[in-house]
Amino acid sequence: MWDFMAVTKALADETRVRLLLALQKRELCVCQLIELVKLAPSTVSKHMSILRSARLVDARKDGRWMYYRLAGAKSPPIVRGAIEWARESLADDPQIIGDAKRLEQILKMDVHKLCGSQCPPK
């Protein structure tokens, strides 16, 4: 029951679904996700924390930055099914299509400059 509740809570927010689907083809740095949804770093981190708690995404830290990717093949069936359901249900959604186009532009940016401009070192 816990997995079901965590997954449905995670998918109940439009921004979290956008973030989840942005990870369909590749791992992304949190800075790239921030650039995509145009929200504060703390807000995006909170959203990613919820997705991670639901086991919909995996994360790794590299220096100061977090990198996220969709949960892998070893994730619970409910997680794999939820990701596939979101993909199929929103394949033709204008927001998701627009995000994919915007992500193409973001991926052309130097990730180190992008991260540095969003969260300069203290």
Asked if pLDDT for residue 14 goes beyond 80, the answer is yes
Asked if pLDDT for residue 22 goes beyond 70, the answer is yes
User: Domains of the chain by range and CATH?
Assistant: 2-111 (1.10.10.10)
**pTM (two decimals):** 0.90
Q: What is the amino acid identity at position 86?
A: A
Task: Read off the pLDDT of residues 33-61 as tens digits, 9 standing for 90 and up.
Answer: 999 999 999 999 999 999 999 999 999 99
Torsion over CA: 53, 54, 60, 63 (sign): negative
* Torsional class of 58: left (φ above 0), alpha (ψ -120 to 50), beta (otherwise): beta
Q: Indicate the average pLDDT of the chain.
A: 91
Of 113, 115, 120, 117, the C-alpha closest to 30 is: 115
